[in-house]
Amino acid sequence: MGCYLGIDVSTQAVKCIVIDTGAGTIPAESTVNFGEALPSYRSPNGFLPDADPLIRQANPLMWLEGLELALKQLAATGFDLAGIDGISGSGQQHGSVYLRRQLSRLEPARSLAEQIAPLLSRPVAPIWMDRSTTEQCRELDREFGERLRSNTGSPAIERFTGPQIRKFAVEQPEAWSDTHRIHLVSSFLCSVLCGGDAPIDFGDGAGMNLLNLRVLQWDREIAAFTAPGLPEKLPPVVSSATVAGKLDSWFTRFGFRPGIPVVVWSGDNPNSLVGTGAATPGMAGISLGTSDTFFAPMHDFKTDPHGCGHVFGNPAGGFMSLICFTNGSLAREAVRKLYHADWDFFDREALQRTPPGNGGRLLLPYFAPENTPPVITPGVRRNYAGARPEEEIRAILESQALSLRLHSSWQGEKFHRIRVTGGASKSSGFRRILADVFQAEIETIQVTNSAGLGAALRAANVVEHLGFDQLAARFCRPTGTISPNPDHAELYNEMLEKFRDFEASGSNVGA
């Protein structure tokens, strides 16, 4: 039994979470928001302002200062960090850091940012929100076509690291030749903790368009085409259950014992799969945030024939899917505001006044360009005209649930239990619809920092050999469950077919 630290470095914040496997408790947590705590980085939302809305970059030194502050705050909670037996972490996926040379032991007298700054061959890191690499994606598609999807788990995607690296190598050839190591956000921060070069794990490595998931090795041909000399600039790729190194003695200033194991970091989505307790087959997770995200473990490697879904490594073994729907709460909020409906009306009254199925009304909520299915020009589409507010509200919620089911069906799995997180998971009305559409138990959980918790659980799994099922039973217990109503199964099966046809038809009846 021991204590483990999970560190989540996301777009907007660094969050630390400590778990005690013996007591089954979370004895300490800390959060540092970049925008609030580090205004000198001019990144109120975690990225630098840019005149080009397609470009989204962050300063890697901000992550390091945020890490230092978050650890300081964690120590200040009174929890003795000498009790930590292992550490792992989570990074926002796809972002990349460019170094002149590999990291080596840290100098005790200097801050992290101070000593890492001279190593950066590129002062900024493109992050997952960057969409400026359409040209590079086309070039990769032209060269490799279907092979990209069938081997790396995704077609060429703007935010994925390979296209980002290609753009940098072409646009800044001198800085490129000065680059000897490229890290993901996760492996960069893991390297800093270890005071040495850390590997990339299969979970996060799969978000690069460079990893052949069939053999779990870099695809050297794709890498060499992506940028000259790239295969030599990538760290090794390893299973998520690997000890990357020992904690550098620089970190003893916070009270840690020197040399405790640092387990390889992973991306936020693979970590969240573990942290929501959804890493075992038959389960899935849905995060209902600004965008909605569906993720689920996959026993065998399969890819989405439509190219909307991605495949990453599952830290608990095998693979996982990830499907992102841009118009999540963004669209729900837009409809709510359109009708000046407060949350209570939106969540309960509107659904009580309308029957399941809603007379077959469907609404495609493309208030913004959509990822799944790909929609470039925004525009809401309806298969009906002149609905009342409550009908419109049911239409968007049922349509979003049907879209989640339709676009996750390529996995060919029946999901029996789905863990829901994020702001809109508070809506019991939406959870009821999800339960009936998926015919699955919809479960809520208490922990909000599922990526950080997932990292802490992975550290416990590797260091203490506790199984993920055991850990999930202790730390990811559901706080509420809505069971499906079997009487509605047929209705929603029929609606799913109607939804598929409507989405494919491109038609729009009502305004």
Q: Which residues bind ligand XUL (CB under 6 A)?
A: 92-94, 128, 159, 207, 267-269, 322
What are the helix (H) ranges across 276-371? 329-338, 343-344, 350-352
Minimum Å gap between C-beta 295 and ligand XUL is 9
Q: Which is nearer to ligand XUL, 208 or 247 (CB)?
A: 208
Which positions ≥6 away from 131 have C-beta within 8 Å?
Answer: 54, 56, 158, 159
Amino acid at 258: P
Instruction: Judge whether 75 and 157 are in contact, CB under 8 Å.
Output: no
Give the C-alpha separation, 146 to 149, whole Å: 5
Residue that the structure tokens 């800044």 belong to: 172
Closest separation in Å from C-beta 502 to ligand XUL: 27
User: Which one-letter DSSP state was computed for residue 348?
Assistant: I
Residue number with CB closer to ligand XUL (92 or 427): 92
The smaller minimum CB distance to ligand XUL, of residues 159 and 431, is found at 159
Burial class for 391, CB neighbours closer than 10 Å (0-12, 13-18, 19+): middle
The C-alpha atoms of residue 234 and residue 449 are separated, in whole angstroms, by 29
Q: How far is the CB of 7 from ligand XUL (least distance, A)?
A: 15
Q: How far apart, in Å, do the first and last CA atoms of the chain sit?
A: 60
User: CB count, 10 Å around CB of 368?
Assistant: 15
DSSP β-ladder status, 417-421 and 441-445: parallel
Supply the minimum distance, in Å, between the C-beta of residue 310 and ligand XUL.
6
Taking the least distance from each CB to ligand XUL, the nearer of 63 and 499 is: 63
For residues 233 and 99, give the distance between their C-alpha atoms in angstroms, rounded to a whole number: 9
Contact between residue 30 and residue 73 where contact means Cβ atoms under 8 Å apart = yes
What is the closest distance, in whole angstroms, from the C-beta atom of residue 154 to ligand XUL in the complex?
9
Query: How many Å is the maximal CA-CA distance in the chain?
Result: 69
Task: Please give the Cα distance from 431 to 484 (Å, whole number).
Answer: 10
The candidate with the shortest Cα–Cα distance to 78, out of 28, 40, 36, is 28
Q: Residue 340 corresponds to which amino acid?
A: H
Cβ closer to ligand XUL: 269 or 427?
269
Report which residue type is found at 85. Answer: D
- In the complex, minimum distance from the CB of residue 465 to ligand XUL, in angstroms, rounded to a whole number: 28
Identify the sign of the CA torsion 337, 339, 343, 347: negative
Closest distance to ligand XUL from the beta carbon of 55 (Å): 16
What is the smallest separation between the CB atom of 27 and ligand XUL, expressed in angstroms?
27
Of 50 and 497, which CB lies nearer to ligand XUL in the complex structure?
Answer: 50
Q: How far is the CB of 265 from ligand XUL (least distance, A)?
A: 13
Residue 128 vs 499, nearer CB to ligand XUL: 128
Q: Which is nearer to ligand XUL, 261 or 309 (CB)?
A: 309
Q: How far is the CB of 19 from ligand XUL (least distance, A)?
A: 22
Radius of gyration of the chain (CA): 23
Nearer to ligand XUL, 358 or 372 (CB): 372
Give the nearer residue to ligand XUL in terms of CB position, either 59 or 92: 92
